[in-house]
Structures are given as C-alpha cells and as structure tokens.
Amino acid sequence: MNVLVTGGAGFIGSHVADAFVERGDTVVILDNLSAGSMENVNPKAKFVEGDITDAGLVRRLFREHRFEIVNHHAAQLDVRKSVADPVFDCTQNIIGTLTLLEAAREQGGVKLFMQASTGGAVYGEQDYFPADEQHPTRPISQYGVAKRSIELYLGCYQALYGFEYVAFRYTNVYGPRQSPHGEAGVIAIFTEKLLCGEDVVINGDGSQTRDYVYVGDLVRAHMLALEQLNGSDIFNISTAIETDVNQIFAVLSDLTTEGHAKATYGLAKAGEQQRSVCSYDHAREMLGWKPEVDLQDGLRKTVDFFRGKRG
C-alpha cells in the first residue's frame, strides 16, 4: 500500500515507518525535522521535509502518491510547551491534523487514518486505575485537549466521509532513538545525563507515576491494527503498570556505571498529572495485542542504545 507517515523522522514515527517498509509498503515520510533526525529515516522510504500545516504541500503529496494509509505522528508533543503557548500547540496539533484530514477527504481512497493520541493527558486525573477507554476525558493541559479534539474530529470525518480511523492512546513511550532534548520523557533525559555522570533533576517529589510502554510493543499494535481492525476504534497502548519517577531513576542508576550521579528535586510542573496508568484490555480483545517487553528489559535496551551512540 501507499503509506504516508508524518513525523517519520522522529522517535516513534521512525520505528513505525520501518515496520511499514518491512511490510513491503511504499512509504513517504513527511517531517519538518524540528524534533526528528535524518539519522532515523529509513533509506527505503521517500523523505519530504515540510510541515503538516502547509496545506499546499500536503495536498500535492496526496495527489502525487494516492495514499491508502495515513499514519500521523507529527505533533507538538511537549505538555509544558502547550501550557506556555497554547496557540502554537493548537496550530501544530489540531490545524495540522485537519490539514491532513482535508487532503484525505479531497483525494478519496484513504482506507485507514492512524492517529497517535495520548492516554494520560486525555484522561486527566483519573477516577480509577488503570483507566480504560470509557474513562471520562478531562485533560488538564492544552496538549491533552488538542489530542482529544483530534479524536472527535476523526469520528466526525468517519461519519461524514466514510474513511476509517484508529486512534492509539499511548502512555509514556520509551526506547531507542528517543531524544534526550526537547519534549523527551524522563527515561531519555535521565539516561543521557547518567551516562555523562551528570546529576538529574526530578520534578516534584518523584512519587508521580506513569505507565511506561516500550516503543517496539507500540509498533506491533500498529501492524496488528492493519490486520485485525474491522471499523474504527480507539485503543490504549499501555502496560497497566504504574512506576514512579524515583523507581525509574533507581533502575537507570543501576544500569549506568559510567558515573556516580545523584538526583535533586525541583518544583512540580504545571499541567502534569500525579498518577497515570491505563488498561490495555480492549487492545488485547480486539487486536490480540499485549505488551511483551517488561520495564527492566526495555530500560536495558534503551541504555545500550544511548551507550552505543556515545561510542
């Protein structure tokens, strides 16, 4: 199939693009390289540097390539930046996605629109743990509001124009290729600093929990959706296991012997939840998916990747 992967030079998008290439699909990657890197781009894919908000470019790509699958990972990913600059967040996440949806509508023939959404940020502070897809959505950041809005737009476009969609509500994704800069999660940031022997800063008291899912498990969910999905749906992609930041630091400290760094504690950040963990029962039932890489193994793979990059 002809596949568009937006954000395909980034951490998650590049792994998904690789899987499409391995499947034998014809892959076009659209990325503005604001967070991605050409090092991540699969050489068998066609790379186009550009922004998803550029309607002229997006329409041209759809006309030229007649995409059958759109896999949408390009986004403003930083919760804190969304709080500081909500207009920018809205432009990149909502307007950018609408630009893709409109191009897909005009082209016709798109069989599936695959959307990278978010678990924790969409649900907000949870009523119960782990949250399933029926949990109320009460985002407490503009980023979460944008991602939930996109899911509603997908439902609208499916009803009006008939092309199917799947939205994956990722929890905290980690693994090789994650940048330790910009919107990166604590695992990439901590790993880079620990390998350099630098102290790390933990926001708040470190008791805040997240549900950490390995990037390779996430990629399998995308491929299974292509095979198993019948109609449109929303899935948590998660582990249903809570891990606090202090635990993450402790494990990474054990895995990195290059220095003797320690953790210091700073202020908690606006818009961030205290607890976040999601159920993957729906994905298991409908897609036959479950996480296979446990946190210890995933962290070891991640540390090995960062250590390898340092030579």
Cβ-Cβ contacts under 8 Å for 125 (sequence gap 6 or more) = 138, 140, 273, 274, 275
Extents of the domains making up the chain: 2-173+212-237, 176-210+241-273+293-310
pLDDT of residue 244: 97
- Contact (CB, 8 A) for 160 and 212: no
Q: Whole-prediction pTM value?
A: 0.97
User: Using omega within 30 degrees of 0 as the cis cutoff, is the peptide bond preceding 130 cis?
Assistant: yes
Segment 183-237, tens digit of pLDDT? 668 999 999 999 999 999 999 999 999 999 999 999 999 999 999 999 999 999 9
User: E-assigned strands of 93-242?
Assistant: 112-118, 164-170, 172-174, 200-203, 209-210, 212-214, 233-237
Whether 41 contacts 29, CB under 8 Å: yes
* pLDDT tops 70 at residue 153: yes
pLDDT at site 182 = 63
CB 277 within 8 A of CB 131: yes
Q: Return the DSSP state at 41.
A: S
d(CA 237, CA 215): 10
CATH number of 176-210+241-273+293-310: 3.90.25.10
- Would you state the pLDDT for residue 99? 98
d(CA 189, CA 178): 9
Closest CA to 67 of 101, 33, 19: 101
Residue 72 has pLDDT above 90, yes or no: yes
What are the pLDDT digits (tens) for 246-299? 999 999 999 998 767 899 999 988 777 899 999 999 999 999 999 999 999 999
| Nearest-angstrom CA–CA distance, 90 and 76 | 9
> What pLDDT digit, counting tens, does each position of 98-126 carry?
999 999 999 999 999 999 999 989 999 99
Residue 141 has pLDDT above 70, yes or no: yes
Asked if the model's pLDDT at residue 73 lies above 90, the reply is yes
pLDDT digits (tens, 9 = 90+) for 7-63: 999 999 999 999 999 999 999 999 999 999 999 999 999 999 999 999 999 999 999
Catalytic residue from among 143, 170, 174, 212 = 143
| SS3 label, residue 89 | helix
Specify the fold of 2-173+212-237. Answer: Rossmann fold (3.40.50)
- State yes or no: pLDDT of 6 exceeds 80: yes
The reported pLDDT for the residue numbered 39 is: 97
At 161, list the tokens: 């124009």
- Say whether 161 is catalytic: no
Report the C-alpha gap between 133 and 127 in whole angstroms: 13
292 exposure class (CB count in 10 Å sphere: 0-12, 13-18, 19+) = exposed
CB within 8 A of 45, min separation 6: which ones? 5, 8, 17, 20, 21, 27, 28, 29
